[in-house]
């Protein structure tokens, strides 16, 4: 496990990552579901919506931003509790930095499911790697098209590359705890911004922008500001 190895390399307890995950993972799943429901309200609370189905996580529908935010909060709570009990030396910022590449790899692997579900693809495309989509999965207005941009594949490739970049930059950024995780967020937001521009599935719009596009901008700018301030210290 990438995160566990990196945490041990900076002096963290052997089981710290798995112990934190007991709290962080369930909270991440809950956060991802809450974000999905909030940003896709018509499916659950619209005219023909089914509010109870908002609880059916096994049917799919997790928003990455909700998963990251609530999962991060859960990790912080668990980390503080374990540090008081075990009195280890590493900080939460160092812990988060150690986890960042592994989180990216997990995100990239998780996107493979979109291929089998034929979901979260982009605009019509005739490129050699375009995704063939069954008619029943094509959005309204795109029934006549057969192949589409596999945006989930683009995201997987992007996050794998970012993970490699973070690993390579770890020796340089380790002296400024929190910088690696902030760079993860910044680069992920950059890639997600452009990927969202290709998406054609229904989404909540704010000021003409898909909510995930707007979130990428806001979170990306915030993380970039943090990264710049951290670099001056």
**pLDDT tens-digit series, residues 155-185:** 999 999 999 999 999 998 888 999 999 999 9
Last-in-domain residue among 90, 124, 149: 90
Give the range of the structural domain holding residue 25, as residue numbers without chain letter. 1-90
162 close to 189: Cβ distance less than 8 angstroms: no
Residues 31-68: tens digit of each pLDDT: 988 888 887 777 777 777 777 877 777 766 778 889 99
Residue 209 β-bridge partners: 206
DSSP 199: B
47 and 110 belong to one structural domain: no
Among the listed residues 32, 46, 29, the one whose alpha carbon sits nearest the alpha carbon of residue 204: 46
- Spatial separation of the C-alpha atoms in residues 34 and 213, rounded to whole Å: 18
- Spatial separation of the C-alpha atoms in residues 108 and 195, rounded to whole Å: 14
Indicate yes or no: pTM above 0.85. yes
pLDDT of the residue at 1: 75
Instruction: Give the SS3 label for residue 209.
Output: strand
pLDDT of the residue at 59: 67
Last-in-domain residue among 62, 90, 118: 90
What is the count of structural domains for the chain? 2
Last-in-domain residue among 90, 115, 133: 90
Residue 210 β-bridge partners: 205
116 and 38 belong to one structural domain: no
53 and 157 belong to one structural domain: no
pLDDT at residue 91 tops 70 = yes
Q: Which helix (H) or strand (E) holds 82?
A: helix 64-86
Averaged over 184-210, what is the pLDDT?
A: 88
């Amino acid at each position: 496990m990438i995160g566990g190895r990196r945490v041990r390399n900076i002096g963290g307890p052997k089981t710290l990552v798995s112990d934190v995950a007991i709290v962080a993972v369930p909270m991440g799943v809950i956060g991802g579901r809450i974000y999905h429901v909030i940003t896709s309200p018509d499916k659950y609370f619209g005219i023909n919506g089914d509010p109870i189905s908002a609880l059916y996580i096994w049917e799919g529908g997790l928003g990455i931003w909700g998963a990251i935010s609530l999962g991060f909060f859960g990790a912080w709570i668990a980390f503080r509790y374990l540090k008081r009990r075990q009195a280890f030396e590493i900080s939460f910022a160092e812990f988060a930095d150690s986890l960042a590449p592994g989180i990216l790899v997990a995100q990239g692997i998780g996107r493979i499911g979109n291929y089998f579900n034929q979901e979260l693809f982009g605009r019509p495309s005739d490129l050699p790697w375009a995704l063939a989509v069954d008619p029943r999965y094509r959005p309204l207005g795109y029934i006549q098209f057969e192949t589409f941009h596999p945006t989930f594949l683009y995201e997987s490739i992007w996050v794998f590359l970012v993970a490699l970049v973070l690993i390579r930059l770890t020796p340089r950024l380790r002296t400024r705890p929190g910088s690696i995780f902030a760079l993860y967020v910044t680069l992920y937001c950059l890639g997600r911004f452009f990927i969202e521009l290709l998406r054609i599935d229904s989404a909540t719009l704010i000021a003409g922008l898909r909510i995930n596009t707007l979130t990428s901008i806001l979170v990306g700018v915030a993380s970039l500001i943090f990264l710049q301030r951290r670099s001056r210290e």
